[in-house]
Amino acid sequence: MTGVHRQVPKSVDYFDQVSEAAAFLREKLSTLTPLIGIVLGSGLGAVADAITSPVVVAYGEIPHFPQSTVEGHSGRIVAGMLGPVPVVVMQGRVHFYEGYTPEQVTFPMRVLGALGLKAVVLTNAAGGIQEGYRVGQLVALADHINFMGWNPLIGPNEPRFGFATGTGLRFFDMTEAYSKRLRALARETAFGEGFALEEGVYLATPGPSFETPAEVRAFRGLGATLVGMSTVPETIVARHMGLEVLGISCVTNLAAGLGGSQLSHEEVFEAGRQVENRLAGLLTRLLPKVAGLLKAES
Ligand code: HPA
């Protein structure tokens, strides 16, 4: 057998790594059992400051956890209470364009699933494609278009990932990738906070270059109202695990060719900073309602 290595399906090791990371976090969290996860996008870190009795864990401490190389993505987990709701917040995410594999990009989401969460709120910075969108506007995702050219579930299926369903299926429905009822609650809560939360369709590109104006016109033709470089892989694995997903984009800029100026990461980051408090307010009011729904079912 010298020199011959039997190919072990990668998902076997991967599941063990996810379990190890989750076990590490569970020990750190002690008696806290989070119900909902929140992933914060570029410049959108303020929600983490609203967490009481926080347990902070740097990504670098967690076994197998990938670390973000992007400025503005701080790379830590903040777990604790958002009002009356036990949550785990991921401040910063990793992206495909950083050179991570699809499995690494979605590793943190897998770990959230392994912690036993029932729902996740995925936030991101996005370019606005739809006419009428303004910079600083929050948009609830009604659907997405996967334009990344890959799917994080390519490879052997691992049924044990079905944390919330019992079985992670090879083929599963994506008709309601983004939960209708959570979206409705979010819109109602935003209304109560004095702003309108529109619904949109998010198209994910691999990045890291922003789009050309021709690409933006093409994406509009495909039905996209927002464009970004994240979220879609996380949504796919969250649905594979049976978690309910609420997606919220912050329009940090008008997409290329629509705003008249050149795009930069600084602009995206700054626009995120200006709206992060509104997002924090929305989630603080919204999550108790979501928790009420989820608990009534368990
Ligand atoms: N394009 C892609 N990703 C983005 C954008 C954009 O215009 N803005 C924020 N993230």
Residue-wise pLDDT for 185-220, tens only, equals 999 999 999 999 999 999 999 999 999 999 999 999
Atom of ligand 1 nearest to the CA of 211: 1
In a domain, 63, yes or no: yes
CA-to-CA separations, 122 to 24, 42, 148, 149, 208, in angstroms, rounded: 23, 12, 17, 21, 20
Taking the C-alpha atoms of residue 236 and residue 169, their distance in angstroms, rounded to an integer, is 12
For ligand 1, say whether the CB of 255 is within 6 Å of any of its atoms. Answer: yes
The chain-wide mean pLDDT, for the chain, equals 91
Could you write out the three-class secondary structure of 257-284?
Answer: CCCCCCCCHHHHHHHHHHHHHHHHHHHH
In a domain, 77, yes or no: yes
Asked if residue 2 has pLDDT above 70, the reply is no
- pLDDT at position 267 is 79
Joined together, the tokens standing for residue 109 give 């989401």
Q: Residue 254 — pLDDT band, cuts 50, 70, 90?
A: very high
In a domain, 6, yes or no: no
Closest CA to 224 of 129, 141, 126: 129
In a domain, 120, yes or no: yes
Number of domains in the chain: 1
- pLDDT at position 10 is 53
Helices (H), 118-167: none
Largest Cα–Cα distance in the chain?
A: 69
252 Cβ contact partners less than 8 Å away, ≥ 6 residues apart:
42, 43, 125, 126, 127, 135, 136, 267, 268, 269, 271, 272
CB-CB neighbours of 35 under 10 Å: 19
What tens digit of pLDDT does each residue of 20-41 get?
A: 999 999 999 999 999 999 999 8
CB-CB neighbours of 16 under 10 Å: 11
Taking the C-alpha atoms of residue 224 and residue 215, their distance in angstroms, rounded to an integer, is 11
Domain region containing 144: 14-297
What tens digit of pLDDT does each residue of 90-115 get?
A: 998 899 999 999 999 999 999 999 99
What tens digit of pLDDT does each residue of 144-194 get?
A: 999 999 999 999 999 999 999 888 999 999 999 999 999 999 999 999 999
Please state whether the peptide bond connecting residue 208 to the residue before it is cis, i.e. omega within 30 degrees of 0: yes
In a domain, 131, yes or no: yes
In a domain, 1, yes or no: no
Enzyme catalytic residues: 42, 73, 95, 97-98, 125, 229-230, 253, 265
Closest CA to 44 of 249, 233, 201: 249
CA of residue 120 to ligand 1 center, whole Å: 22
Among 70, 134, 268, name the best residue to mutate to test ligand 1's pocket (greatest count of ligand atoms within 8 A of Cβ): 268
Atom of ligand 1 nearest to the CA of 254: 7
Asked if residue 74 has pLDDT above 90, the reply is no
What CATH number is attached to the domain comprising 248?
3.40.50.1580
For ligand 1, say whether the CB of 268 is within 6 Å of any of its atoms. Answer: yes
